[in-house]
Amino acid sequence: MLVLWIKVVSAFGECILQPDGEVDRPKLGRFVFSDPEKCQLLNQLFAPYISFGIFWEILKLCMKGFKLQRLMLRDRTSEDDARNRINAQMPLDLKRTKADIVVVNTGSLEVLK
């Protein structure tokens, strides 16, 4: 993953790093999900690493409100930034047609387990 880190930092600059050298995910998200070209570049950088590790495509479906809330909580980001990130993703209906397994997740974490 060091190679991927180097590629991401080379593409987007050290401004996306936290003081400890880790990628600041919310900052990177704001940077790339507000610009389709930057988003496409990030996708191109990650695609080989993601594709290599996927044997099964698993899609977790959740109600859109849950998805937005979870993303805002996880990344400590604004609603606008979270919506930009969600809108940059492949639509759920299209993901569902490409998935081998669909896990419907409209309840709590305990229910999902």
d(CA 113, CA 106): 12
Residues 41 and 86 reside in one and the same domain: no
DSSP letter (8 states) at residue 102:
E
Residues 103 and 92 reside in one and the same domain: yes
Residues 78 and 65 reside in one and the same domain: yes
- Mutual orientation of helices 25-32 and 2-12 as an angle, nearest 10°? 50
Can you give the residue range of the structural domain that contains 50?
Answer: 1-54
Model pTM score = 0.54
Per-residue pLDDT of the chain (113 residues; tens, 9 = 90+): 788 899 999 999 999 999 999 999 999 999 999 999 999 999 999 888 776 655 455 556 666 678 888 899 999 999 999 999 999 988 888 888 887 777 777 666 677 66
Kindly provide the b/e burial profile for residues 13-35, where b requires at least 16 CB atoms within 10 angstroms of the residue's own CB. Answer: eeebbeeeeeeeebbbbbbbbee
